[in-house]
Amino acid sequence: MCGIAGYMIPREAPAMPALLRRMAGVIRHRGPDATGIHTAPGIGLAHARLSVVDVEGGTQPMSLADGSVWISFNGEIFNHVELRESLRQRGRIFRSRSDTEVILHLYDMFGPDCVDHLNGDFAFALWDARRGRLMLARDRMGVRPLYYTEACEGLYFGSEIKALFEVPGIDPEPDPLALDQIFTFWFPLAPRTPFKDILELPPGHMLLAEGGTTRVHCYWQPSFPDAEEAGRGADEGSVKEELRSLLTDAVRIRLRADDPCGAYLSGGLDSSLISAIAAELSPQPLKTFSVTFDDAEFDEAGPQQIVANALGTDHHALRCAAGEIGRLFPDVIRHVEQPLLRTGPVPLFALAGHVRENGVKAILTGEGADEVFAGYDIFKEAKLRRFVGRQPTSRRRPLLYQRLYPYLPRLNRQSPAYLSAFFAATPRPDDPIYSHQPRFRVTAGAKLFFSRALSDDIGSYSALDDLRGRLPADFSRWHELHQAQYLEMTGLLPGYILSAQGDRVSMAHGIEGRYPFLDHRLVEFAARIPPSMKLKGLCEKHILREVAGDLLPESIRDRPKQPYRAPDGAAFIGESTPAYVRELLSEGTLREAGLFDPAAVGRLFGKLSSGSAPSARDSMALTGILSTQLWHEKFPRPALGENDAHPRGVAAS
């Protein structure tokens, strides 16, 4: 696993090897084993390497034998064995066993369409010296990150944004609209990032820069059949068989590595299923890893141990003690480079460190199943809201709301009528984002705390309208479950789950996450499974449970979903309040950053310190404010006057 960085500049401009070393240096945690650079007129590529496949032969940046095509590559191509074989049959000669070289040959034969052949998680920069063309590309689901900016007469890119800030003249400047999006969705809408003028290459996209022009286009995105086609002609038995064989293959090719892979075990269906398949395919006992919490509301140690025992894995649990979240939060913000509304990434950051200490470099995880097979509560919630909405006078239907969140005691102390009023507060069932409205509404409550200046900068901008305007043309024809799945698969999944809770926190320790459920063959197959086989009544991931039938203990297979959560607002108040919290939430610091209203934040902190357990909205608000303050501190704007020659005039603002 690795980090990449580099630039494309005018041919006559001098090469900047020192800059490349600095860019690779700040993302060295991603690839601590070796650093490599390549410069030629107009181009600079850098690479920080963690050796997983072909430890000996995989040095990067790498080129074709004639030096005509160069690549700096982050990620894994899981089908590289099959691809290499078929390329060999077409006369290609390989100098290494690495998957990197496979991409070079594929590009040589197919040009930018080479991505269509790849099954993997990747972000790469490829330089075609013959045409003077730079190609940046990113995997379909967005597992590996890639950012870029066009500034200072060049195009600069890197696996993490901090690499770009090594370029003189490129400085961190908060983007008000991105903050509005984060305080609505939990993440900015790609290609926007929290920093002005820094862009993310969205999942399934590529960028081609040549002859003075830069083009970005989408080569793959999730798609679903029209609603009337969605349920037709599928036989559950054969769907189950095909799913099982695809999933097994997705795990099989993800176990390819020079060192044995481990697996995360949350205690839920998805990671248990992956671990079960991996344990069967691994020649040595599978190492599994999990987080445990002291607070029973979040802890899943019991089910984790049941699965580990049943599968006979070599299990390692890391206890996330009270106080750990507050202690690690600043480090996590530096790695994720964006404000967070939740603390979920923190225990996973600690867990990746634990994995590293146990000598494992690559880890299988069950992430993605909830998006691809409709496991999240939000899908049930939307179905129920529509069901209740069709008979608004029914007194029985709202009773079902109490079945939605059995693990949220505060929610269930309310009457069905009240829950009904809450969930029905968005009365337009034809709104394309109907399914997500309650979540967005609660999150957006945290915007109350924005400073007047920040609110003025945001103006009349509507993040919800922005999202509605980005939906694909055929979205309105899809089944409502598929519409909700699309929103998750292209929104929260790459924007938060795979990023803040995935790549960033695991790569902070050089650990590579591998996601069998996000194998694109599986994603494409699942899109054609009838909605009723995914969410059957109110039973989520039905078809996956069927597959799990003979692989897992019954108690795990039939266990209702318990979403992964960590203590949020409570981590920052009371006895465990870390010292930096008071400092960052002090009137002076808040005023200096200028993003939040100090008096309002003071009232919130006072309310939460008074002892009662914080509500979801207050908890998110506190976490969001604190993380934004930390983010602002970790990525400071340059002081006024320091950059009078700044190309974007930041100093003037």
Partner 1 sequence: MINSKLLQTVRGFIADNFLFRAENEALDDDQSLLDSGIVDSTGVLEIIAFLEQTYEISIADSEIVPENLDSVGRIADYVERKRAA
Query: Which residues carry out catalysis?
Result: 2
Asked whether position 539 contacts partner 1 by CB under 8 A, the answer is no
Residue 81: how many other CB atoms lie within 10 Å:
13
Buried b (16+ CB within 10 A) or exposed e, 566-598: bbbbbbbbeebbbebbeebbbeebbeebebbbb
Choice from 252, 542, 607, 648 touching partner 1 (CB under 8 A): 607
Residue showing tokens 């390549």 = 38
3 state DSSP class of 392:
coil
Q: How many amino acids of this chain bind partner 1 (CB under 8 A)?
A: 31
CB nearer partner 1, residue 401 or residue 478: 401
CB nearer partner 1, residue 238 or residue 612: 612
Quick one: which of 177, 172, 71 has its CA closest to 124? 71
CB nearer partner 1, residue 224 or residue 449: 449
Q: Which of residues 613-632 bind partner 1 (CB under 8 A)?
A: 615-617
Choice from 215, 233, 413, 579 touching partner 1 (CB under 8 A): 413
CB nearer partner 1, residue 520 or residue 617: 617
Phi, psi for residue 75 in degrees, rounded to 5: 130, -160
Instruction: Give dist(CA 308, CA 312) in Å, integer.
Output: 6
CB nearer partner 1, residue 446 or residue 571: 446
Q: Which of residues 564-603 bind partner 1 (CB under 8 A)?
A: 597, 599-601, 603
Written as one string, the DSSP assignment of 136-193 is EEE-SS--S--EEEEETTEEEEESSHHHHTTSTT----B-HHHHHHHHHHSS--TTB-
Shortest Cβ 418–partner 1 spacing (Å): 5
Shortest Cβ 357–partner 1 spacing (Å): 38
Choice from 109, 321, 425, 453 touching partner 1 (CB under 8 A): 425
Residue span 367-406 as binding mask against partner 1, x where in contact by CB under 8 A, dash where not: ----------------------------------------
Shortest Cβ 455–partner 1 spacing (Å): 10
CB nearer partner 1, residue 34 or residue 442: 442
Shortest Cβ 566–partner 1 spacing (Å): 18
Candidates 56-64, 91-99, 407-415, 459-467: pick the segment binding partner 1 (CB under 8 A): 407-415
CB nearer partner 1, residue 427 or residue 636: 427
CB nearer partner 1, residue 7 or residue 185: 185
Candidates 173-181, 273-281, 293-301, 609-617: pick the segment binding partner 1 (CB under 8 A): 609-617
Strand residue runs (E) in 253-328: 262-264, 287-293, 314-320
CB nearer partner 1, residue 25 or residue 389: 389
Q: Which of residues 471-490 bind partner 1 (CB under 8 A)?
A: none
Question: Residues with Cβ < 8 Å from 597, sequence gap 6 or more?
Answer: 449, 450, 451, 452, 590
Shortest Cβ 380–partner 1 spacing (Å): 15
Contact status, residue 376 vs residue 370, Cβ threshold 8 Å:
yes
Please calculate the CA angle 408-411-413 and round it to the nearest 5 degrees. 110
Shortest Cβ 410–partner 1 spacing (Å): 4
Shortest Cβ 346–partner 1 spacing (Å): 23
Shortest Cβ 373–partner 1 spacing (Å): 26
Shortest Cβ 588–partner 1 spacing (Å): 18
Asked whether position 414 contacts partner 1 by CB under 8 A, the answer is yes
Contact status, residue 491 vs residue 485, Cβ threshold 8 Å:
no
Instruction: Give dist(CA 575, CA 594) in Å, integer.
Output: 28
Shortest Cβ 416–partner 1 spacing (Å): 9
Shortest Cβ 405–partner 1 spacing (Å): 9
Asked whether position 563 contacts partner 1 by CB under 8 A, the answer is no
Question: Residues with Cβ < 8 Å from 292, sequence gap 6 or more?
Answer: 299, 300, 301, 304, 317, 318, 319, 320
Instruction: Give dist(CA 626, CA 595) in Å, integer.
Output: 11
CB nearer partner 1, residue 382 or residue 601: 601
Instruction: Give dist(CA 187, CA 181) in Å, integer.
Output: 6
CB nearer partner 1, residue 127 or residue 379: 379
CB nearer partner 1, residue 306 or residue 448: 448
Residue 158: how many other CB atoms lie within 10 Å:
30
Which amino acid does the sequence have at 573? Answer: I
Choice from 130, 319, 390, 410 touching partner 1 (CB under 8 A): 410
Shortest Cβ 440–partner 1 spacing (Å): 10
Contact status, residue 2 vs residue 48, Cβ threshold 8 Å:
yes
How does strand 314-320 pair with strand 287-293? parallel
Candidates 158-166, 169-177, 281-289, 604-612: pick the segment binding partner 1 (CB under 8 A): 604-612
Choice from 109, 417, 453, 539 touching partner 1 (CB under 8 A): 417
Contact status, residue 468 vs residue 186, Cβ threshold 8 Å:
no
Residue span 426-465 as binding mask against partner 1, x where in contact by CB under 8 A, dash where not: ------------x--xx-xx--xx----------------
**Which residues on adjacent β-strands are paired with residue 513?**
363
Instruction: Give dist(CA 260, CA 211) in Å, integer.
Output: 45
Question: Which three-class secondary structure string do you get for 80-143?
Answer: HHHHHHHHHHCCCCCCCCCHHHHHHHHHHHHHHHHHHHCCEEEEEEEEECCCCEEEEEECCCCC
Instruction: Give dist(CA 57, CA 51) in Å, integer.
Output: 10
Six-digit token string for 568: 């949020």
Instruction: Give dist(CA 579, CA 281) in Å, integer.
Output: 48
Instruction: Give dist(CA 35, CA 159) in Å, integer.
Output: 14
Choice from 94, 387, 422, 525 touching partner 1 (CB under 8 A): 422
Residue span 333-372 as binding mask against partner 1, x where in contact by CB under 8 A, dash where not: ----------------------------------------
Sign of CA dihedral 86, 91, 92, 98: positive
Q: Does an H or E element contain 73, and which? A: strand 69-77
**Interacting residue ranges for partner 1, rule: CB under 8 A:** 408, 410-411, 413-415, 417-419, 421-423, 425, 438, 441-442, 444-445, 448-449, 597, 599-601, 603-604, 607, 612, 615-617
